[in-house]
Amino acid sequence: MKKHKTKHSDHLVAPLAKARGLGSTHHGSGQWMAERVSALVILPLVFWLTWSVVHMGHDYASFTAWLHQPLNALLMILTLLPMFYHSAYGVIVVIEDYVHGTAMRFISVYGVKLVSLVLTIISVVSILKIAFTG
């Protein structure tokens, strides 16, 4: 961190640079905001998904036919991307509350990120495959 010459005003207001990244989760308010924005994006899509599940057939042919439609494939991807993001960072917040010790925390936080990334890739590739090949 950059050294600050102490000015009179520093005694009253901490410079932002000194406070950045010092929260309990070591990431600033950006992550907090992203967690809320992703939640807000998923919310209407949950209702779309519920509606779709009720209306589509549940066998292989109907399900793939449903995902073969571009709008459904697109909306499915738009549901899953923010969902995996929100889910991963939500679980990380929980980990940071209960898992202590630098090594354990590091392993579990990066484990969650890795698993989440792999699941996201598998899902998107699967959706695209069905959308483009049927």
Partner 1 sequence: MRERPLSPHLMIYRWTITMAMSILHRATGVALSIGTLMLVWMLAAAALGEDTFTQFADFAGSLTGQVLLFGWSVALFYHALNGLRHLAWDVGFGFEIKTAKMSGIVVLIATAVMTAILWCGILCK
All residues at 6 or more sequence positions from 105 whose CB lies less than 8 Å from its CB, including other chains? 95, 96, 99
Instruction: Assess 83 for contact with partner 1 (CB under 8 A).
Output: yes
Tell me the three state secondary structure of residue 39: helix
Instruction: Assess 71 for contact with partner 1 (CB under 8 A).
Output: no
Instruction: Say which amino acid occupies 110.
Output: Y
Instruction: Assess 50 for contact with partner 1 (CB under 8 A).
Output: yes
Instruction: Assess 41 for contact with partner 1 (CB under 8 A).
Output: no
Between CA 74 and CA 115, with CA 132 as vertex, the angle to 5 degrees is 60
Instruction: Assess 121 for contact with ligand HEM (CB under 6 A).
Output: no
Q: CA 49, CA 103: separation in Å to the nearest integer? A: 39
Instruction: Assess 53 for contact with ligand HEM (CB under 6 A).
Output: no
Q: CA 89, CA 33: separation in Å to the nearest integer? A: 11
**Closest CB to partner 1 among 28 and 90?**
90
Instruction: Assess 34 for contact with partner 1 (CB under 8 A).
Output: no
Chain residues in the site for partner 1 (CB under 8 A): 36, 39-40, 42-43, 46, 50, 53-55, 58-60, 63-64, 67, 80, 83-84, 87-88, 90-91, 94, 119, 122-123, 125-127, 129-130
